[in-house]
Amino acid sequence: MLQGKTVVLGVSGGIAAYKIPNLASRLKKLGADVEVILTENAGNFITPITFEALTGNRCLINTFDRNFRFQVEHVELAKRADLFMIAPATANVIAKIAHGLADDMLTTVFLACQAPKFVVPAMNTRMYENPVTQDNLDICRRYGMKVIEPARGYLACGDTGAGKMPEPDILAEHILLELACEKDLAGKKVLVTAGPTCEAIDPVRYITNHSTGKMGYAIAQAAAFRGAQVTLVSGPTALAAPLGVKLVEVVSAREMFEEVTKAAGEQDAIIKAAAVADYRPAYVRDEKTKKSGGQVSLELERTDDILAWLGEHRQPGQFLCGFSMETQNVLENSREKLLKKHVDMIVANSLREEGAGFGTDTNVVTLITQDGAEQWEKMTKFQVAHRLLDRVFKDSGKNGGIPDSPPDMGADF
């Protein structure tokens, strides 16, 4: 996903420097050419040899080292960079880059670099919250640098609070969001639904289904990677929200209906990948239903049909795509849904198909449109997401190549 991209990692003298070899390794596996620059103080926490073994490139420290590969190393490296990230960024380094100081290799290359710049503060809470540091970060933002906010937690100094560097997988996702795809969907607004809904029986029990949300989350992330403004309306899942996506969490079909209809009017495309309950209990008990000796019947009523509402209230030029999970008569049932709901496309798959269904990392789908049916081979859900977006936005240009698999960051699609 980062093939042909050069990522420069600047490592300053904070204890969080020990996490950066993990980030360098992840980026290398994703195909990036990774260059690492250490400050002299960073060398007290992590050795250059570690980065050299992981990246295959010489780790840079000294501005005046005569053995550099290029005559003017800081300028050449700055030109080659597609992205420059300083992680961890100490208060000292933040102060330097905010005011254009360049007294070592890291700050010199940073000042010469015109590629996107990311600053990852990591320090003691009191240092981070100091007004001077916050002013310097605001200056960085004003100059177009992207500041990745630190996490809160237990710090190496023993304090608890803001200042903890985000984990390498999160930093890698920021880099992927910037570099993985061309931004061919920039300016487009996309709403995606994902996951199951849960329909309460009483305060303890509910009705739901086996959806994990993986397909919908993959679509949302792919759209964000390609520059779209994405709203993800999700039922309960175990998945983390994709970076760059507005997550709206819901539980019931009614809540999902309200959130989708509220946001639908301004969307260029709506992709309904959620497995919404068709029925809910007609009566929700206030107390837990106690077990009795006999059988219990549960009266059900229809939930709101979100896709039908969207078909009836679509905006001019808006593209509507629904999903259809079937166990039999897949094409016939999906065509009927396409016509009945007045939508542009149905993505159909069968629970009986190997490699498809709930909870898998792959999918086997058939696209149903007014023009006919198009069956796709088995792919990862991330691949399906990109090809689906290509079809939805077929007039939006090319995305420069579809990644073969989701990013190896511990994300679970």
Active-site residues: which are they?
Answer: 157
* 7 touches 175 (CB < 8 A): yes
Cβ neighbours for 13, distance < 8 A, ≥ 6 positions apart: 39, 40, 41, 42, 44, 45, 90, 92
Compute the distance between CA of residue 54 and CA of residue 284 in angstroms, rounded to an integer: 57
Cβ neighbours for 121, distance < 8 A, ≥ 6 positions apart: 88, 89, 91, 94, 128, 133, 137, 147, 148, 149, 150, 163, 165
Q: Which two tokens stand for residue 316?
A: 């001019």
3-state secondary structure 110-137: HHHCCCCEEEEECCCHHHHHCHHHHHHH
Compute the distance between CA of residue 105 and CA of residue 64 in angstroms, rounded to an integer: 9
Question: Between vectors from CA 63 to CA 62 and to CA 67, what angle results, nearest 5°?
Answer: 75
Compute the distance between CA of residue 178 and CA of residue 83 in angstroms, rounded to an integer: 8
Helix pair 131-142, 91-98: axis angle to 10 deg: 40
User: In the block, which residue shows the tokens 């260029």?
Assistant: 268
Helix (H) or strand (E) holding 182: none
How many other β-carbons are positioned within 10 Å of the β-carbon of residue 148?
18
Compute the distance between CA of residue 4 and CA of residue 63 in angstroms, rounded to an integer: 26
Helix (H) or strand (E) holding 162: strand 160-164
